[in-house]
Amino acid sequence: MRLRCAVLDDFQNAATEAADWSPLADEVEVVPFTTHFPDEDALAAALADFDIVVTLRERVPFPAALIARLPRLRLLIASGMRNSVIDYAAAEAHGVTVCGTASSSTPPVELTWALLLGLARGLVQESNALRSGDPWQSTVGADLHGRRLGLLGLGKIGSRVAHVGLAFGMHVSAWSQNLTKEYADEVGVQLAADKRELLADSDFVSVHLALSDRTRGLLGAPELALLKPTAYLINTSRAAIVDQDALLAALHEGRIAGAGVDVFDTEPLPAGHPMRTAPRLLATPHLGYVSQANYATYYGQAVENIQAYLAGEPVRRLP
């Protein structure tokens, strides 16, 4: 009998088109799931007959309780080489091999600028007005040239966002707990004295930090209160870095000009969630990693991982 491989959250039904799965045809049956399973019970029931699971990023947790309910599971593949929602000890205890894939930092950089530019120039509002016959021109765009871009985090993604900001003629500052002046100078940006200074001085603030105990809730109500009323906040990193209730309050009360958000505490975002209708918010459904090139890498390397596992020589093992 062939092994069965489930591909989770294939919302665009793109997994089997993004890569060539034919080398597995004789040994593995690939079954994409185009809808998200709402809870652990539904997931356990759906995956009960699968030997291999391919999951996208950190959307689906695999805690010990779930792994114990999947006795056939032998190989779990997650896109990217970092995943904080898999219980690796439980996987090992149940004989489950966990592997990852490469992931490009280019798509989230590009989406960051799509959100920032969309907010600054009122693109969604103006496009909707044009298509519906509403008044011609209702917004006055915010300039980028000469304004200050503040980056929380200057790693692989943050540094590339910085280079684009510099190309627009922006003044770019950065801060994180471990950022040094030497590295900031190397990237060509100013090191902010502290988080408060960065928030208070910036016209646009973009979050590019990994989620950890130190960054969880890093921007709460006191920090958001430091932003100028004309400032915009962009978060394409992790939702939990920004207090969601505090952000919603700032948007509803008009204490900031707007926010661009690609990440949420619960994904997919439930119907009726306040983030779906918040004013001054440009929101996208976690598209940061969703691009043709990234999908080709994710699923192409998933095929390679399965081939290597079947050959008894697993590659790209996590953690």
Please, is 110 exposed, middle or buried when counting C-beta atoms within 10 Å of its C-beta (0-12, 13-18, 19+)? middle
Among candidate residues 197, 267, 280, 304, the one labeled active-site is 267
The sheet carrying 190-191 orders its strands as 190-191, 171-175, 148-152, 204-207, 232-235, 258-261, 281-283
163 is catalytic: no
Tokens encoding 292: 């043709």
CA dist., res. 298 & res. 101, Å (int)? 6
Asked whether the beta carbons of 52 and 13 are under 8 A apart, the reply is: no
238 is catalytic: yes
Among candidate residues 147, 148, 160, 286, the one labeled active-site is 286
Helix (H, G, I), strand (E, B) or coil at 8: coil
Residues 6+ apart with CB under 8 A from 92: none
Strands (E), the chain: 3-7, 28-32, 52-55, 75-78, 97-99, 148-152, 171-175, 190-191, 204-207, 232-235, 258-261, 281-283
CA dist., res. 101 & res. 301, Å (int)? 6
29 is catalytic: no
Q: Report the catalytic residues.
A: 238, 267, 286
